Amino acid sequence: MKSHVMILATGGTIAGISQTPAQSDYCAGQMGVQDMIDAVPDLKQVARISGEQIANVGSQDMSFDILIHLTCRINELMTQDDIHGIVVTHGTDTMEETAFFLNLAVNSPKPVILTGAMRPANAISADGPLNLFNAVAVAADPDARERGVLVVMNDRIHGAHSLTKTNTTSVETFLSPVNGLVGTVNYGKTAYFRFPFRRHTCLSEFSSRFCQPPHPALPRVDILYACVDMPPDLIDFSLAAGARGIVIAGDGNGNMNQGTMKNAAQKAAQGICIVRSSRVPTGTVGRNVELDDDSLGFIVSDELNPAKARILLMLALAKKYGTSHIQQLFYTY
């Protein structure tokens, strides 16, 4: 008997349509889940398929409301013995954030696979159908269990912790620059290289919170982008607007200018969590390299880019954890 894979659709370019097959402008989130399934009849070769529409947005419009609804639905479906894996179709713009959030919040060892497309569904050489086929194959594969939330795009299997979008238009946009791929998938044939190194899903301390209502309210965390002569008072504006934590997308190894550093240290002394991440696309941010984090009271993001660091900080602040514990979380997740 074939595995049963549920496809949860949220929109994106994989559900996008352009006026003609050879033009760059298009509208994301146009097709419904059943149309996407019907467009790839070969899906039936690899699994029994059913679909459900969670949302239909460009992922630039993904919200925590949709994300929490998606997470709870996944956690609910995964309790059913007759569901073996879930595929989430999603826009690529914020796919890494959704994947990382689910990696922390899904409470099941069964495969959860995100996929999408860089070209709309009716484009010449649309990449969505094969991505969907490969994603279903990975979701149906028992060897994909216990590997955390995965992203399948362009024949690659990425871990949620490590992948990042690196190109605005190329089908080879996702890379896993720090830790490498989890595996590959070629017309449904899978090969795995490793398990993710960081804690995830069932072992995550956050996953039980998204099973039963009430779900935790997530505090606002802002990302501030470091640059030449960065205005230090951006931190004050964020806090005045209600942010409870700040992620600095720092220069290089998470650096910031003197004015920003002094202001951030003052806020850290008042109990605001300041996380140093980096605007550089690859590499880690280390403690006490050019800045003395121990005396400034800062947290470093280690391997997490600013967008993922923000998600971990939001979940940690919702649990009311303190600075030193949150630092440990950045080495754990």
Using CB under 6 A as the criterion, which residues of the chain lie in contact with ligand ASP when the complex forms? Answer: 12-13, 28, 58-60, 91-93, 116, 118
For the CB of residue 313, give the shortest distance to ligand ASP in the complex, in Å. Answer: 23
For the CB of residue 28, give the shortest distance to ligand ASP in the complex, in Å. Answer: 4
CA torsion through residues 33, 38, 39, 41, sign? positive
Among the residues of 78-164, which ranges form H helices? 95-105, 128-139
Task: Decide whether 60 or 79 has the Cβ nearer to ligand ASP.
Answer: 60
For the CB of residue 257, give the shortest distance to ligand ASP in the complex, in Å. Answer: 32
For the CB of residue 43, give the shortest distance to ligand ASP in the complex, in Å. Answer: 20
User: Is 13 one of the annotated active-site residues of the chain?
Assistant: yes
Task: Decide whether 60 or 63 has the Cβ nearer to ligand ASP.
Answer: 60
For the CB of residue 237, give the shortest distance to ligand ASP in the complex, in Å. Answer: 27
Q: Which of 204, 238, 197, 200 is nearest to 221 (CA)?
A: 238
Written as one string, the DSSP assignment of 176-240 is -TTT--SEEEETTEEEE----SS--GGG-TTGGGGTSSSPPPPPPEEEEE--TT--TTHHHHHHH
187: phi > 0 → left, psi -120 to 50 → alpha, else beta; which? Answer: left
Task: Decide whether 105 or 123 has the Cβ nearer to ligand ASP.
Answer: 123
CA dihedral 56, 57, 58, 64 (to 10 degrees): -130
Phi, psi for residue 254 in degrees, rounded to 5: 75, 30
Task: Decide whether 26 or 192 has the Cβ nearer to ligand ASP.
Answer: 26
- Chain centroid offset of residue 170 CA: 19
- Which amino acid appears at position 280 of this protein? V
Residue nearest to ligand ASP (CB): 91
Choice among 10, 13, 115, 260 that is catalytic: 13
Burial of 199 (0-12, 13-18, 19+ CB in 10 A): middle
Task: Decide whether 24 or 258 has the Cβ nearer to ligand ASP.
Answer: 24
Which residues does the annotation mark as catalytic? 13
